[in-house]
Amino acid sequence: MPFIKTIPDATGHTVNLFYEDLGMGNPVVFIHGWPLNHEMWEYQLSELPMQNMRCIAYDRRGFGKSDRPLKNYDYDTLADDLKSLLDQLELTNVTLVGFSMGGGEIARYIGKYGTERIEKVVLISAVTPYMLKTDDNPEGADKSAFDEMVQKISEDRPAFFTAFGKKFYGVDLFHQPVSQPMLDWNQSLCMMSSAVATMDCVRSFSETDFRKDVLKIKVPTLIIHGDADNIVPVTAGKRTSALLTHATYIEYEGTPHGLFITDKERLNADLIYFIGSKDANG
């Protein structure tokens, strides 16, 4: 199985990150959401490599087949991990595609390292620009909501993921946009993560302010968000779009957070068009 080693931390330790590399052409790097792993991109990784795109998807530290350290789940470290992947695979002219928490990796990577290797950016249901409610960010969510998530994970992680998965895909008593086997598959991906990673990453994606990082994204950018997203509200996509006046913003009507499944055909079409376009965002 292919792995890359991350940049050594202050103690000299490295982490092995698993990745999948499919197709040929300009590289498209997929960064998964919480609490899943790179396998969430199954429908994108089945289609986009057929469109002359080299698709690379990796498991964040603590998730999937990657190593599971007991610390260092902050976004500076996660951005360093992304840099390790881009550097070691010697990727250029890259399109970065980040879903939910993965959008934060893109923002922090560009905030720290710029866009020398990056050609385009796609933010899907992303946690940018800032999730937490503060005096200067009144549209954010109360810290108590994230505290409750961590508490429930610590008490019964499988039960939390079961309830979270239904909310993730917009399932309720009257609306079943995905099948029970799909929910079961989602649960299996969630349970491949470590308990430490799932809890620490809640703190990371809820408490990290990406507003300054987002302003450094100068390359063509596509922002996609569902207006029925009950995990990361559509206001996040709108606010990120307001900071990036050059970005293309697409809102999916009636669509929940997990649109990579519920709206996979439309998402694939939008990705193929944007990535293949020579004049995206002008």
The domain spanning residue 61 has which CATH number?
3.40.50.1820
Is the residue at 282 inside a domain? no
Q: Which of 80, 229, 263, 270 is catalytic?
A: 229
pLDDT score, position 173: 61
Say which of 66, 84, 100, 206 is annotated catalytic: 100
Q: Are 64 and 35 in contact (CB under 8 A)?
A: no
Q: Tell me, yes or no, whether 157 lies in a domain.
A: yes
**Count of domains for the chain:** 1
In the numeric block, which tokens belong to residue 85?
A: 């992947």
What pLDDT is recorded for position 11?
78
Q: Active-site residue among 193, 257, 263, 270?
A: 257
Token digits of residue 254: 């009636």
For residue 88, CA distances in Å to 55, 113, 165, 208 come to 16, 15, 34, 27
Does the residue 67 lie in any domain?
A: yes
> Rounded distance, CA 81 to CA 61, Å?
8
Q: Clarify whether 225 is annotated catalytic.
A: no
Q: What is the pLDDT of residue 272?
A: 98
Rounded to an integer, what distance in angstroms lies between the CA atom of residue 65 and that of residue 18? 6
In order along the chain (282 residues), what is the average pLDDT of each group of 10 residues?
A: 86 93 97 98 98 97 97 97 97 98 98 98 98 95 97 98 97 86 98 98 98 98 97 98 96 97 98 86 52
In a domain, 281, yes or no: no
Give the DSSP H or E segment for 17: strand 16-22
- Per-residue pLDDT, 211: 98
The Cα–Cα gap between 199 and 181 comes to: 26
- 25: exposed, middle or buried (Cβ count in 10 Å: 0-12, 13-18, 19+): middle
Task: Respond yes or no: is residue 13 known to be catalytic.
Answer: no
Please give the Cα distance from 22 to 39 (Å, whole number): 13
Determine whether 257 is an active site residue. yes
Residue-level pLDDT at 282: 46
Q: Residue 147 belongs to what domain range?
A: 3-276
